[in-house]
Structure 1
Amino acid sequence: MTRLSPYTGRFAPSPSGPLHFGSLVAALGSYLQARSRQGQWLVRIEDLDPPREMPGAADDILRTLDAFGMTWDGSVIYQSQRHALYQAQIEHWLAQGDAYYCRCSRKAIKEAGGFYPGTCRNAGLDAAHSAVRLKVDQAITGFHDQLHGWIAIPEALASEDFIIRRRDGLYAYNLAVVLDDIAQGVTEVVRGADLIEPTGRQIGLYHRLGQPEVSYLHLPLAVTENGNKLSKQNHAPAIDTRRPGPQLWHAMRFLGMCPPAELQCADRDDILRWGIAHWDVANLPPTTAITLNLASRGDLGI
């Protein structure tokens, strides 16, 4: 891929439902970060888990981004079309002895203390009814986040051999996201703070693959009064594509920006231009979650 600038960012939603306000925040933050740096902004559909997908959601997500004026560069990549790439890497690691088959159940791991103790590491199991785990010999015990600073990772989690292909044959998120970010030339990952925990494993994969790791910026999550994040699983309502302006304005406010009140009624492209001109990571709220009170939720139709 030929880059227009050294910066390449991306938005990578899963098609488990339409975009809601929380996903709009993630999309807008990654978009403004890329455009403020005159960089590329890519869109990738992470359709790795068919049982969790909603028919038509991928197309709906793309239509919503278009309705909100967030135009992406290049072609949309679908992870469901990249299984051969993931499998080839897994087979290479298996052949090198860097990965192995595992038949341990979640129940067994929970009974062992909650972290996988390496039970099958030297068992010599075959592929039948097995997941594939990657050996972790050099644990990543922390990383720097552009908003939150140093994020420490518990040793037990950092050193755990983790799954790269599930027992049901589905490919693991950690593997797919790193292989795809490398292939697409992504230089920075801007996403929600709910994905902080797997970041260490992903950095470890960059090291294993001999590739420079990307930088990370984890945005605050929008949560309800009871502490639940807005999500498709929690039935957060879809954003209204008929009125992008006010929702973009509210999303910018959520991200610590101070758009003028009159901008709510402006054209979406004017709002985005203002956002690009005024975006600054230093203005982001230094937290992993922000509670939407009843008044703000009403403004957003939540």
Structure 2
Amino acid sequence: MHHENPKTNKNLKGRFAPTPSGRLHFGSLTCALASYLDVKAKNGSWIIRLDDLDSPRVQRGASENIIRTLEYFNLISDEPIRRQSDNLKLYEEIFGDLIRKNLCYRCECSRKRLQSLNNVYDYRCRNKKLSHEKTSVRLKISETNNVQNFIDNIQGNQETAHITSDFIIRRKDQIFAYEYAVVIDDYVQNITSVLRGADLISSTFNQLILHKSLNFNPPLYSHIPVVENKDGEKMSKSKNALMEFSKTKLSILYLALDWLGQNPPAELKNESNQIIIDWAKKNWCPKAIPQLLSKSITEQAQIL
């Protein structure tokens, strides 16, 4: 299900791209809401993309459940739902270009060896010229494509805390890495604004490196705090799923806006999802979002 708005700002486009590995929880719904409002407040467009490339993680029925839940909360894609699994041919074509340009190489190092290096790769396979396919593939990082800082629209200036080393763009099981696929998706789908959880800040450096390597213009990145439960743990799809849209008397969207620092008026607490969405689009304030990497949910939201 999708709709089109003739007054849409075609130059601004955002997305929500969950992995269909389970039901949405309060944290993922909050991220979806924030990504939606961040472009809709400026009359931009918003799409839903299911990042289903990592097939071992995909849970049967999760995609349909995610879409149904988003529609229940009036978070509706402006275009047909996208799926990473539909883009395999494109990933292969661009991968072939990187191989031909000698911008990546095969690596046979084991997970155990990489862990002994604290996951900072030592370039052992860079000049081996391995040819067998039962290997991972790494992108070469050089002075021309390296990225060590970027401006986050919420968290401010971000600088990498460690040495950026050649990273994997295709795994040994031949599945393309998340960072590789998502960069291509965002580019071909004309995404200009990416808003997501702060647990992906470190991954953003690799994504920006890929943008430079592929000569793609990157989107503007914004990262909201990760939603934690009262015990300081990140919410999970298995433990904190939104079951039957919750039994709470308060609107979940109201609680999400409150958590995002948007200060929704009390009279919105029991209003319909559409009325809350309409208010939020008119009053969206990114600067009010806490400049934190994580934040616990309120006592009211513990019932979710």
Structure 1 residues 141 and 237: CA distance shift in structure 2, 3 A: same
The amino acid across from 1:173 in the alignment is Y
1:236 aligns with 2:240: yes
Measured after TM superposition, the shift of residue 190 of structure 1 is: 0.5
Q: Distance in 1 between matches of 2:117 and 2:263?
A: 49
Q: Distance in 2 between matches of 1:298 and 1:197?
A: 29
Deviations 1:250-283 (A, max 9, x none): 0000100111222121121110000011101111
Gaps of 5+ in 1: none
User: 2:84: which partner in 1?
Assistant: 79
Measured after TM superposition, the shift of residue 77 of structure 1 is: 0.9
Q: Distance in 1 between matches of 2:119 and 2:246?
A: 46
Q: Distance in 1 between matches of 2:270 and 2:118?
A: 54
The amino acid across from 1:219 in the alignment is I
The amino acid across from 1:274 in the alignment is W
Of 27, 32, 37, 1:22 maps to 27
User: 2:300: which partner in 1?
Assistant: 296
Measured after TM superposition, the shift of residue 4 of structure 1 is: 4.1
1:168 aligns with 2:173: yes
Deviations 1:129-170 (A, max 9, x none): 1011110113211111011111110341x2x11111100011
User: 2:226: which partner in 1?
Assistant: 221
User: 2:3: which partner in 1?
Assistant: none
Q: Distance in 2 between matches of 1:248 and 1:108?
A: 45
> Secondary structure at 2:127's aligned position in 1?
coil
Q: Distance in 1 between matches of 2:160 and 2:236?
A: 25
Map 1:205-284 → 2, pairs under 5 A = 205-232=210-237, 235-241=239-245, 246-284=251-289
Q: Distance in 2 between matches of 1:221 and 1:113?
A: 24
Q: TM-score normalised to the size of structure 2?
A: 0.92
Map 1:41-52 → 2, pairs under 5 A = 41-52=46-57
> Secondary structure at 2:191's aligned position in 1?
coil
> Secondary structure at 2:75's aligned position in 1?
coil
Of 1, 15, 22, 1:10 maps to 15
Measured after TM superposition, the shift of residue 113 of structure 1 is: 4.0
User: 1:189: which partner in 2?
Assistant: 194
> Secondary structure at 1:189's aligned position in 2?
strand
Equivalent residues of 1:19, 1:239 under 8 A apart: no
> Secondary structure at 1:265's aligned position in 2?
coil
Measured after TM superposition, the shift of residue 214 of structure 1 is: 1.1
User: 1:147: which partner in 2?
Assistant: 154
The amino acid across from 2:137 in the alignment is V
Q: Distance in 2 between matches of 1:292 and 1:269?
A: 23
Q: Percent identity?
A: 35
Equivalent residues of 1:193, 1:220 under 8 A apart: yes
Measured after TM superposition, the shift of residue 226 of structure 1 is: 3.2
Equivalent residues of 1:10, 1:30 under 8 A apart: yes
Q: TM-score normalised to the size of structure 1?
A: 0.93
Measured after TM superposition, the shift of residue 220 of structure 1 is: 1.0
> Secondary structure at 1:69's aligned position in 2?
coil
Structure 1 residues 113 and 72: CA distance shift in structure 2, 3 A: closer
The amino acid across from 1:72 in the alignment is S
Deviations 1:155-208 (A, max 9, x none): 41x2x1111110001110011001000001000100011110110111111111
User: 2:182: which partner in 1?
Assistant: 177
Gaps of 5+ in 2: 1-5
User: 2:64: which partner in 1?
Assistant: 59
Q: Distance in 2 between matches of 1:75 and 1:296?
A: 35
